[in-house]
């Protein structure tokens, strides 16, 4: 019986950081399984990677909030003679606006994707990750270090991702599994459009990074055994400062910043 071949699973691989992460892993010799809802984009990325001489990635078109996602992924990979060596949980979205004013169902969908689906995929393939001494990279955000009035539910989901992944780093390290959380600052991608942000409402350029820069930092941080990866010196400094600045000042600053964003949206 032929042993399954190791593969890297990348979710949210149809745009932004997900595409950049897929390219970085492929460039370093990883065979990929690309997961997202937009089939045309996944196939375009798979063709692009195959054109470099790499094996064409497996394309899995699915909505990760659907029940049984992990089982379905496992079955598709098994049918292709593969199993995960690395899992990259990048799928997620955010929403700008007061939690009490935004559509409740949409916010609960965000929790389903950013928290529940990420948790399911983080735990579903632990045995195969251990077999290959592979790893898990969860994409969080600098938002995970802060309270977020004006994006309260999104910030809370990223706080979960940060806490959960740091804990898994300790739990799974004895099994030879590298676990890291990637916490970028603002990245100009479709994520901002989905959240309802216009370019003029983005953060200052000193905090903004390209998806390619973030993906490279995430890959090398994971392979280096790091627990928490915050790309960029200024952003690292901010995540350190928020640990020592009184919480009420952090809340006030974020509230002021989000109010300015909402004002920018209306102009």
Element (H or E) spanning 167, and its range?
Answer: helix 152-172
154: annotated active-site residue = yes
Q: Are 96 and 191 in contact (CB under 8 A)?
A: no
Annotate 237-260 with b (16+ C-beta within 10 A) or e (fewer). ebbeebeeeeeeebeeebeeebee
Q: Which of 132, 154, 155, 213 is catalytic?
A: 154
Contacts of 85 (CB under 8 A, 6+ apart): 6, 7, 8, 30, 128, 129, 132, 134, 135
| Cα–Cα dist 207/234, whole Å | 7
| Cα–Cα dist 163/6, whole Å | 28
| Cα–Cα dist 148/151, whole Å | 5
Tokens of 225: 């055994």
Q: In terms of Cα–Cα distance, which of 26, 78, 81, 37 is closest to 59? A: 37
Q: Which residues form the catalytic set?
A: 154
């Amino acid at each position: 019986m032929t042993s399954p071949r190791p593969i890297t699973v990348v979710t949210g691989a149809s745009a932004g950081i997900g595409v950049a992460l897929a390219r970085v892993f492929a460039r370093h010799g990883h065979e990929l399984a690309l997961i997202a809802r937009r089939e045309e984009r996944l196939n375009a990325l798979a063709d692009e990677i195959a054109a470099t001489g790499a094996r064409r990635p497996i394309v899995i078109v699915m909505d990760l909030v659907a029940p049984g996602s992990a089982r379905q992924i496992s079955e598709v990979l098994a049918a292709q003679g593969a199993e995960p060596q690395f899992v990259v949980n990048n799928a997620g979205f955010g929403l700008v606006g007061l939690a009490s004013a935004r559509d409740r169902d949409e916010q609960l969908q965000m929790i389903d994707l950013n928290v529940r689906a990420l948790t399911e995929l983080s735990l579903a393939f632990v045995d195969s990750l251990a077999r290959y001494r592979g790893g898990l990279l969860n994409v969080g955000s600098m938002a995970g270090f802060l309270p977020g009035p004006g994006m309260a539910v999104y910030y809370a989901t990223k706080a979960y991702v940060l806490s959960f992944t740091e804990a898994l780093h300790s739990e799974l390290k004895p099994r030879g599994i590298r676990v890291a959380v990637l916490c970028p600052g603002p990245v100009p991608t479709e994520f901002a459009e989905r959240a309802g942000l216009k370019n003029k409402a983005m953060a200052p350029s000193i905090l903004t990074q390209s998806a390619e820069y973030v993906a490279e930092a995430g890959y090398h941080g994971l392979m280096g055994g790091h627990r928490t990866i915050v790309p960029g010196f200024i952003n690292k400094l901010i995540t350190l400062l928020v640990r020592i600045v009184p919480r009420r000042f952090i809340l006030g600053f974020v509230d002021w910043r989000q109010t300015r964003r909402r004002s920018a949206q209306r102009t």
